[in-house]
Structure 1
């Protein structure tokens, strides 16, 4: 949509030399994966999982099974990422396996709503608890939104300035996050060692007999594992991606499974079944119970953890938009990279503006159902694309090739997570999701398929290039 030569910015800049830097080593990549997965879910979701399952044993089993599903998905995405080493996560895989229309609908849904919604939820939660923690003039919604917008602007600046700074924030946030959860885990096991075993001895007593309740518990747990696919968004910025992508992705999920399982044991040991069920935020309640006044430090650390998750969502989500624009399915200027910073400034700013808009408009938590439905729909389609590519690219070398049973299991589970909530609890959010995805075709046909209104996009591209000093970044095959 409107290509402008590099000479528009500077005749000295060579197109072949401009691109996003490979600043993510194995440690940074694992930190990115851990941050993307371990967000607010482990601090909020245990209450919902335990409430729906009704027993200690079943709730812990749900946490493990949800983690194994994420691990299978991660393994499938590793094969795809090594086969097609491009940034953008699902987008390049859907494009290669299922075609332009499905890939566009994914990029349309992910970039316009899902990524901004995920980030907005995180920064609003951060702002709400910041106001409560420091008692800033009550809990005014206006103040909460102002703080959230300021946090969003700060994250955008960090990501536009240099990927090293964003990676550094990921490493620091991951460290804080794991220290917090380490304190929770150690505290719980100290009490277990002192004989506080009554709750854990209840095992599967009190199990629910409702398949619907188990499904709802599974939704809460899978929400907490969300982000297991984010490392595939930044494949081109990984050092030695064919080695570091599978290592970081799989290791990140395994760390999350272990941490989630042990943290839930601690929550149950310290608070008991009733305490967990009645807690609004179990990590805060745990901190108040075990640490007393020192629980404030736990609150601050949890806030830093949530901030890291928002940063990971911005970092990874903007790359999906970048990848789609590079394939001419969005205005091409969104795929341009700063000739000074080597960061995709246009797509970062675009994502930031959408996030700020959603944050200012009001309560966006009703979009969580929308997110879950569409996310699992595209997860399933992406793994189905893996099966298609086994035939269409059968002669292409694959550094990783997983056993065929794993993608089949993942597709069946994805179908269940898409269909079950519609059957069990049909709500208007699912209708909105369908209408929004279908509405993407209204833009696809004239602007992508028929390339309408090229003159307008050329003027916009030229303006953005001059304003932001950005140039095209042609794709180079990852090392």
Structure 2
């Protein structure tokens, strides 16, 4: 990692230098509505079709559950507003990694990248891909569980297909995001209309004694984990700010459009679920949307499976797109091998980072209980979000004169920071093992940082092999270095 290799633009056949009309760089092809679709499409993945069960199990209350969904949306909105300030003051792609790097230094930034590289991104992507496959094959196995191998093979096919599309064209990837975002919103609106019909025809028995339940802090924190998991992705547009058209205007606009829209849809969808499903049915349901469909639509319940599969397909696309930009930025900062900073000489897509993202996600499909990994990284994820917000306050103090096209009221980041601390601390007594494993995974990056990043005088043989592999892959994939951008270390 971090080896400095100056490689020219090389023709894949002759080995001669390529002459291009302009320097290769990531193009600003993401419009405002593409940005809205990216946020909505990434948030609305598998979570809203699975998480309601987890929220209710932790609270055992219809009223508390609806409240958790409302507060999760408000919480995500506050975080997104803070990230709008961060994204317009630290204009590099990379999200949390970029902000922590600038505020706390390269080691802290590398550890955030390390956790994302090792666990967060590939695990999240594998889970959404598996959920896509489960729902896609469910109509063919109405009376039994689909074969495990068929699910994982279809999930792998989904990952490979979307990786190929993202390698070929950013515009194609954004078109897919927009189309599948529309499909998933249609599915949720259909569920909402069905639920409202049941309520208006007098089916309100599930809302009696709505606020009886569990109020212990640990249970509430776990309930919020499930709700916030469904809102995961609210900060993903920050990972691609270098490709967003007019980011100073479109980043906050996309947030103001997307987050209220998702919150309203999520709350109404949960009201619809409870209009038909009792608490016992909610607890016993692995996939609440499918249980809802079976009771509401009968023989047409297979349509719910198809719409959920489409929703997850778009979610995989959004995670893949943003993950590759995170690893590209990490490579540009010499925290990952230089190959990951290369883009295609004509298509301007980060092919090495996309392929790497796909391969690590495919590796996660081999783990039997990949969902258990969520428990190991949830606290670390929220700790990194809290660190980003704390970094924003530190940068205000250290760099008071730096340009800030967007500046939120200080009350917002302080409240958000307090909520993040609650999410990190309160689950520790009930799940100390998860906390310990998450900390160990994070700290395992420290020796990697000093051996692979900070160690400047690596053996000549190591450097020669790394350069040779990079040159071969550059010729094979028609890659070139990106036009130089301001590094995070220059901030």
Shift of 1:215: 1.8
Q: Does 1:354 align with 2:360?
A: yes
Alignment-derived partner of residue 82 in structure 2: 76
User: How far apart in 1 are the matches of 2:234 and 2:271?
Assistant: 22
Shift of 1:11: 2.2
Residues 266-319 of structure 1 deviation map (CA, whole Å, 9 limit, x = unaligned): 111122333323322111111111112111111101011011111111111111
Higher alpha-carbon deviation: 15-24 or 387-396 = 15-24
Shift of 1:477: 6.9
Shift of 1:474: 3.0
Shift of 1:209: 3.7
Alignment-derived partner of residue 440 in structure 1: 445
Alignment-derived partner of residue 340 in structure 1: 346
SS of equivalent to 1:199: helix
User: Which among 455, 462, 467 is matched to residue 458 of structure 1?
Assistant: 467
Alignment-derived partner of residue 140 in structure 2: 134
User: How far apart in 2 are the matches of 1:415 and 1:464?
Assistant: 44
SS of equivalent to 1:77: helix
Residues 159-179 of structure 1 deviation map (CA, whole Å, 9 limit, x = unaligned): 111111111111011101100
Residues 399-442 of structure 1 deviation map (CA, whole Å, 9 limit, x = unaligned): 11011111111222212212222222212x43332222111121
Shift of 1:60: 0.9
SS of equivalent to 1:362: coil
User: How far apart in 1 are the matches of 2:312 and 2:27?
Assistant: 26
Alignment-derived partner of residue 99 in structure 2: 93
Query: For structure 2, which runs of at least 5 residues remain unmatched after alignment?
Result: none
**TM-score, scaled relative to structure 2:** 0.93
User: How far apart in 1 are the matches of 2:196 and 2:263?
Assistant: 17
Alignment-derived partner of residue 201 in structure 2: 194
Alignment-derived partner of residue 251 in structure 1: 257
Report 1:269-308 matches (<5 A). Answer: 269-308=275-314
Residues 98-124 of structure 1 deviation map (CA, whole Å, 9 limit, x = unaligned): 110011111111123211111111111
Q: Does 1:157 align with 2:157?
A: no
**Contact 2:135-2:306 at 8 Å conserved across structures:** no
**Contact 2:217-2:426 at 8 Å conserved across structures:** no
User: Which among 34, 42, 51 is matched to residue 48 of structure 2?
Assistant: 42
In structure 2, the CA distance between the partners of 1:296 and 1:69, relative to structure 1 (3 Å rule), is: same
Q: Does 1:470 align with 2:479?
A: yes
SS of equivalent to 1:291: helix
**Contact 1:115-1:313 at 8 Å conserved across structures:** yes
Alignment-derived partner of residue 268 in structure 1: 274
Aligned length: 476
Residues 7-33 of structure 1 deviation map (CA, whole Å, 9 limit, x = unaligned): 434523359620112111011110000
Alignment-derived partner of residue 63 in structure 2: 57
**Contact 2:343-2:349 at 8 Å conserved across structures:** yes
Residues 234-288 of structure 1 deviation map (CA, whole Å, 9 limit, x = unaligned): 1111111111111112322211111111011111112233332332211111111
Higher alpha-carbon deviation: 160-169 or 352-361 = 352-361
**Contact 1:6-1:472 at 8 Å conserved across structures:** yes
Alignment-derived partner of residue 424 in structure 1: 430
Report 1:98-177 matches (<5 A). Answer: 98-135=104-141, 139-177=146-184
User: How far apart in 2 are the matches of 1:138 and 1:54?
Assistant: 27
User: Which among 15, 27, 39 is matched to residue 33 of structure 2?
Assistant: 27
**TM-score, scaled relative to structure 1:** 0.95
In structure 2, the CA distance between the partners of 1:467 and 1:251, relative to structure 1 (3 Å rule), is: same
User: How far apart in 1 are the matches of 2:283 and 2:370?
Assistant: 24
Higher alpha-carbon deviation: 6-15 or 182-191 = 6-15
Alignment-derived partner of residue 219 in structure 2: 213
Residues 337-391 of structure 1 deviation map (CA, whole Å, 9 limit, x = unaligned): 1002100000111111111111124321110112212210110111111011102
RMSD: 1.9
Shift of 1:394: 1.1
Shift of 1:138: 6.5
Alignment-derived partner of residue 377 in structure 1: 383
User: How far apart in 1 are the matches of 2:9 and 2:484?
Assistant: 19
Alignment-derived partner of residue 412 in structure 1: 418
Alignment-derived partner of residue 203 in structure 1: 210
Alignment-derived partner of residue 318 in structure 2: 312
SS of equivalent to 2:444: helix
Higher alpha-carbon deviation: 249-258 or 36-45 = 249-258
